[in-house]
Amino acid sequence: MVIRESQLVIFKRSALPILIEAELFDFLDRFDALLPQLLRRELSLLMDMREGPMRNEPEYEALMQQALLRMGTGFRRLAVLMKSSVGMLQASRLRRERGGIAAALRPFQSEQEARDYLLAH
């Protein structure tokens, strides 16, 4: 969903697990086609991960890092919504360990706080 008047793009993760890598990369190809990097400069991205399954296997985290790099590159600001304190800790750990685009991804539990951060000038 893109909220044009506010320049906010919202990605909402479903509870369905990713079954195969090809499925994820197909989604990323469609995401890139809808929002090429040239259009992202004035937009912020809110990734709502509250319904996503909690996983922390190294292979899965590496795959999600690739997805984050593709999805997050070029946006003015990035935020992630997490459901629990455990999710917040995991997001903070990944920010520290991975650096790069992951370091730019600010975690929140409050949707309003995330929106306020993303829409601040």
Tokens of 35: 């929002």
Residue 38's CB is within 10 A of a number of other CB atoms, namely 7
Triad 32, 109, 46: Cα angle to 5°: 15
* pLDDT, tens digit, 9 for 90 and up, residues 83-119: 988 888 888 887 788 777 877 889 999 999 999 999 9
- Please report the beta strands in the chain, taking only residues with DSSP state E, as ranges in sequence order: 2-3, 8-12, 44-48, 77-81, 105-108
Tokens of 2: 């893109």
Assess whether pLDDT exceeds 70 at residue 1.
Answer: no
The model's pTM is 0.83
Pairing of strands 44-48, 2-3: unpaired
Please say whether the beta carbons of 58 and 91 come within 8 A: no
